[in-house]
């Protein structure tokens, strides 16, 4: 997927690529609020939200030619 080894958000939160992908997939899987994810991954809800938005955008831009 060409996710960088460390994915950094605009607010300077750093996520290892496997954690970033795991959080994105976990968010897509669950319909609940992000509180569960924040407790499970020990990250703030704001950081998770920003990661999901920015990683989704990154993947969309990177792979848009296939969609």
Q: How does pLDDT run across 14-56, given as a tens digit for each residue? A: 999 999 999 999 898 877 778 888 888 899 999 999 999 999 9
pLDDT of residue 59: 93
Look at the chain and report how many structural domains it folds into. 1
Residue 65 DSSP SS3: helix
Q: Taking a C-beta distance cutoff of 8 angstroms, is the pair 20, 27 a contact?
A: no
- What domain range includes position 48? 6-66
Is there a domain that residue 50 lies in?
yes
N- to C-terminal Cα distance for the chain? 14
Q: Taking a C-beta distance cutoff of 8 angstroms, is the pair 9, 51 a contact?
A: yes
Alpha-carbon separation of residue 48 from 8, 10, 66, 67 (angstroms): 12, 12, 26, 25
Q: What token pair was written down for 3?
A: 């996710």
Is there a domain that residue 43 lies in?
yes
Is there a domain that residue 1 lies in?
no
Is there a domain that residue 52 lies in?
yes
């Amino acid at each position: 997927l060409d996710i960088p080894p460390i994915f950094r958000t605009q607010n300077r939160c750093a996520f290892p690529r496997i954690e970033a992908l795991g959080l994105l997939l976990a968010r897509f899987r669950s319909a609940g609020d992000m509180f569960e994810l924040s407790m499970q991954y020990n990250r703030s809800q704001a950081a998770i939200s920003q990661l999901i938005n920015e990683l989704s955008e990154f993947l969309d831009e990177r792979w848009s030619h296939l969609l």
